[in-house]
Amino acid sequence: MPRKPIKIAETIEYLEILDENAKVDTKLEPKLSNETLIKMYRYMLLGRRADERMLKMQRQGRMGTFPQASGHEAISMGSVINIDQSDWHVPAYRELAGMLYRGWPLENVVMFWNGFEEGTAPPEGTNDLPICVPIASQLLHAAGIGMAMKLRNEKKVVMTYFGDGAASEGDCHEALNFASVFKAPVVFICLNNQYAISVPLHKQMACETIAQRAIAYGMPGIKVDGNDVLAVYQATKEAVERARNGGGPTLIEALTYRITPHTTADDPKKYRSEQEQDEWLQKEPLIRFSKYLKSKGVLTEKELVAMEEDVDKEVRAAVEKAETLSKSDEYMDPTRMFDYLYKEIPDFLEEQRQEMVAYVEREKAKKAKKSKSNAPSGAGAR
């Protein structure tokens, strides 16, 4: 029998609307209100300044190791603005701008990276999962949620994120495959910042794009300029509408760059050149978007400066609140480490908990006694 060709999609689109010089393609430009554009920029700015402040705190020993999100704001904000609070938001760990837009208090994020479980609590009224650090595992959660919503005939959407390194994990392939088979309403967004920590993309995979994998899974796929918030917005808008109307999942690859280390424990100078980093700094999303907003008359330079000042106050207040909470007796109580581990705590763990409770009480008594003995007394001490 002769060989017969199997007809499949052969191309993947690349979308860019606002180029690195802030020149816009008016034919592709989405029709967004000034209010929406300002909101998008403000949360991008808030995410960036919060990220920068947390880096300083980590260097000062006031925060634990954490992965920075600077440079990824256009992907996070350009996508999340397309879903409702009743939809599901399943982040990885570089979606700070989008999480803040969804209502996550910044102090919660600071608490999270300092090891306090309170930082994992989603805001009331949102269908959000906490920050997910284990690589690609959140994609399985997203696929499962989407499959459940499909079975319940719910008109909701799941939006989830992962890096190019996560695209090499088995969890990623399983999630994409199951979502496609079950026509689950999931929008998979890959933040392709071109390095899996220190491993460049060309050493991870031989395919030209990550988006083209969508062809094999039988779902729509598209590659966008991840530093162009308008392109991200438009691509995810189409994907969300398709998912909500029963069209199943979409794979979006957003090309960007880490303008920071992978985490605060990383040294990118060992595997990236300064020239490469400088070139990508010219393409970063905040400068590009602010130029666009000024050229359209949406914001003036004076208003941008005022927004910077307002954001700075917000970040300072959140940091102060987080540090006050983290030093309180309630949050520093070591017996809390036993909470939420089991529905019914085992005997051996209960025994350890009681030992810790007794230790804490003894230390409190010692501290009170010492404080009392050192307290001034008598008229001469007034």
**258 assigned to active site:** yes
Instruction: Report the C-alpha gap between 369 and 361 in whole angstroms.
Output: 12
CA distance 72 to 93: 11
Q: Quickly list DSSP for 214-236.
A: HHHHTS-EEEEETT-HHHHHHHH
Sheet strands (E) in 173-309: 186-192, 195-196, 199-200, 221-225, 250-255
Q: Which residue in the list 94, 102, 258, 288 is annotated as catalytic? A: 258
Q: Which of 121, 123, 155, 235 is nearest to 188 (CA)?
A: 235
From 89, 213, 262, 288, active-site residue: 262
Q: Could you confirm whether 14 is annotated as catalytic?
A: no
User: How far apart are the C-alpha atoms of 290 and 285, rounded to whole Å?
Assistant: 9
**What is the rounded (10 degree) CA torsion for 133, 136, 138, 143?**
180
135: which 2 tokens?
A: 């690589």
Residues facing residue 199 across a β-bridge? 196
> Each residue of 148-181: b (16+ CB within 10 Å) or e?
ebbeeeeebbbbbbbbbbbbbbebbbebbebbbe
Cross-strand partners of 191: 163, 254
Q: Is 89 annotated as catalytic?
A: no
Task: List the catalytic residues.
Answer: 258, 262, 271
